Amino acid sequence: MQLRPGGRALRFTAVEELAVERVAFEWRARFPLAPLVALTVVDRYAEGEGELRGRLLGVPVLGQRGPEISVGEALRYLAELPWAPHAMRGNRELEWRELDEHAVEVATGVRGERVAVRLDFDDAGDVVRASCAARPRPVGKSFVPTPWAGDFGGQAQLGGTRVPTEAAVSWQLAEGPFVYWRGRITGLQLAG
């Protein structure tokens, strides 16, 4: 993960829980900074509210909430549906619209506002890209609506479900794409 273009890449491990019957998730990550020192981050969305929290040595160092965070987190849930294909069918909070033979739009409501992500499929029917035209991007103390995308690959069976195992997420900036997150999925477990 990179926080800014040209910044140092930070390694991390994370566990994420994605809800199937509602729009909700929680991502818990650990970023080792030095021996015995790690930044812990919780990124979540539930009941229409998004939140980002970080702690270093048990001390809060990051805390973000508000309408822009909520919209951004709801968009993240929609974009990560390829990792929770059961939610594509079972989540009644999702609204679907076919765009063409290789793309659909999936939307949900956040505080009375409709937010949507485009999912692009390859010829095999696998989701290879998720994107939206304007996700709130933090710039200083404000937010700028910015095109945003995630590219998926490495389809494999994990936990009995075919999902992408690799992804790269980027802001589409005027100077070109800024890939700020790369990850590999190593396991998938369906909760009962």
Q: Is 27:44 a contact under the CB 8 Å cutoff?
A: yes
71-113 per-position pLDDT tens digit:
999 999 999 999 999 999 999 999 999 999 999 999 999 989 9
DSSP state of 146: E
**pLDDT, position 118:** 98
Read off the pLDDT of each residue in 62-69 and give the average, rounded to a whole number.
Answer: 95
Q: Cα(5)–Cα(108) distance, rounded to whole angstroms?
A: 30
Q: Cα(52)–Cα(54) distance, rounded to whole angstroms?
A: 7
Write out the DSSP string of 123-141: TTS-EEEEEEEEEEEEETT
Q: What is the pTM of this model?
A: 0.95
Residues 6+ apart with CB under 8 A from 10: 1, 2, 3, 31
149-185 per-position pLDDT tens digit:
999 999 999 988 999 999 999 999 999 999 999 999 9
**What is the spatial order of strands in the sheet that 49-56 belongs to?**
13-18, 25-34, 37-46, 49-56, 59-65
